[in-house]
């Protein structure tokens, strides 16, 4: 039976308490939300943290505290962000890699991001890959555009990245490429054979991207970083509610939800 991995991105860098009153911000809230998402079926936690004011931070101490609190509750696989937030420099973004999480996101190109933009030049992407290799961290190759897949292929060719590859297709960022099923199919056909991938549909594309991922052979990401709504105009109760729905859709499609053990085996993680 096919196993489908659910990643939960519970906080992100952009979503605010004004957007959703239940957004997990403190390390304790993040750990509680991670645990609930884990119980609902998420095997990977995509982790951003916030400072005491609720602003995005790549501060090592805050990451350390959040990870310790998550670890006290469950063994969900932790994927730290190295995208950080708009305006951060690369050194700042890469800080949490020192903590040797099992996974990290690796942005594979420059793109528009709402009214702003995120910069990832080829040397920056290579430096991030080198640091991940150094700490034995498995990257999720985040592609916000088709050209980012081609950039990842350059790194693969030059041996900066080793299989098994895991891509994340980030679709529907305002200013970026929109989601539709056909576009997802084009992304899927462009990556190297035997790669894994996760559909990351932003905003109203999130639910459609779940169905698209199931149809095209990919994995799923949900959570308040990507989408705060359960249905149009109705906020999701919490992150776990979005994971629960993804798990139900997976079961209805005749597939099973991947466990943390499944993912560690697939991606050859150290645990
Ligand atoms: Zn993120």
* 44-82 burial: b if 16+ Cβ within 10 Å, else e: bbbbbbbeeeeebbbeeebbebbbebbeeebebbbbbbb
pLDDT at 271 (0 to 100):
76
Q: How far is the CA of 112 from the centre of ligand 1 (A)?
A: 15
Helix (H/G/I), strand (E/B), else coil: 199: strand
For 5, the token pair is 């991995």
H/E element, 151: helix 146-157
Sign of CA dihedral 201, 116, 237, 41: positive
How far apart, in Å, do the first and last CA atoms of the chain sit? 24
CA 42 – ligand 1 centroid, Å: 16
Which pLDDT score is estimated for 270? 80
| Beta carbons of 140 and 104 less than 8 angstroms apart | yes
As given in the structure block, the two tokens for residue 65 are 């505290």
Q: Is the dihedral of CA 62, 102, 259, 248 positive or negative?
A: positive
Phi, psi (rounded to 5 degrees) for 84: 60, -130
- The verdict on pTM exceeding 0.85 is yes
Which domain CATH number covers 170? 3.20.20.70
Q: What is the pLDDT of residue 227?
A: 98
- Residue 114 CA to ligand 1 center (angstroms) comes to 15
Residue 17 pLDDT: 97
* Contact partners, residue 29, CB within 8 Å, separation at least 6: none
Query: CA-to-CA distance for 220 and 5, rounded, in angstroms?
Result: 6
Q: How far is the CA of 190 from the centre of ligand 1 (A)?
A: 23
pLDDT of residue 121: 97
Distance CA 141, CA 46 (A): 13
Q: How many residues does the chain have?
A: 271
Check if the beta carbon of residue 82 is closer than 8 Å to that of residue 93: yes
d(CA 153, CA 29): 38
Per-residue pLDDT of the chain (271 residues; tens, 9 = 90+): 999 999 999 999 999 999 999 999 999 999 999 999 999 999 999 999 999 999 999 999 999 999 999 999 999 999 999 999 999 999 999 999 999 999 999 999 999 999 999 999 999 999 999 999 999 999 999 999 999 999 999 999 999 999 999 999 999 999 999 999 999 999 999 999 999 999 999 999 999 999 999 999 999 999 999 999 999 999 999 999 999 999 999 999 999 999 999 999 999 998 7
Q: What are phi and psi of 78, to 5 degrees?
A: -100, 125
Cα torsion angle, 186, 219, 176, 97, sign: negative
Tally of domains within the chain: 1
CA dihedral 6, 71, 195, 119 (to 10 degrees): 100
pLDDT computed for residue 95 by the predictor: 97
Q: What are phi and psi of 243, to 5 degrees?
A: -65, -45
Q: Which DSSP category does 80 fall into?
A: E
Distance in Å, CA 105 to ligand 1 centroid: 7
pLDDT recorded at residue 56: 97
Q: Please state at what angle helix 181-190 crosses helix 205-216, rounded to 10 degrees.
A: 50
CA of 13 to the centre of ligand 1 (A): 7
Q: Are 155 and 130 within 8 A, CB to CB?
A: no
Q: Tell me which residue range forms the domain holding 151.
A: 3-267
**232 Cα to the center of ligand 1, angstroms:** 23
49 Cα–ligand 1 center, Å: 10
């Amino acid at each position: 039976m096919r196993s489908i991995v659910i990643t939960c991105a519970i906080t992100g860098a952009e979503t605010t308490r004004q957007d959703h009153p239940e957004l997990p911000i403190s390390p304790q809230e993040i750990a509680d939300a991670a645990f609930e998402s884990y119980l609902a079926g998420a095997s990977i936690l995509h982790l951003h943290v916030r400072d005491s004011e609720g602003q995005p931070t790549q501060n090592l101490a805050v990451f350390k505290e959040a990870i310790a609190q998550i670890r006290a509750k469950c063994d969900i696989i932790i994927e730290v962000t190295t995208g950080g937030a708009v305006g951060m420099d690369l050194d700042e973004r890469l800080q949490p890699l020192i903590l040797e999480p099992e996974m990290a996101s690796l942005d594979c190109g420059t793109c528009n991001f709402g009214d702003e933009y995120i910069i990832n030049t080829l040397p920056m992407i290579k430096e991030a890959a080198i640091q991940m290799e150094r700490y034995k961290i498995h990257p999720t190759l985040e592609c916000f555009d088709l050209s980012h897949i081609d950039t990842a292929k350059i790194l693969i060719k030059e041996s900066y990245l080793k299989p098994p590859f895991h891509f994340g297709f980030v679709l529907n960022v305002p200013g970026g490429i929109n989601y539709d099923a056909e576009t997802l199919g084009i992304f899927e056909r462009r990556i190297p054979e035997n790669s894994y991938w996760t559909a990351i549909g932003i905003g109203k594309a999130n639910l459609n991207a779940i169905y698209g991922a199931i149809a095209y052979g990919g994995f799923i990401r949900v959570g308040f970083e990507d989408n705060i709504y359960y249905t149009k105009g109705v906020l999701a109760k919490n992150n776990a509610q979005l994971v629960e729905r993804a798990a139900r859709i997976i079961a209805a499609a005749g597939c099973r939800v991947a466990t943390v053990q499944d993912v560690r085996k697939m991606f050859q993680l150290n645990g």
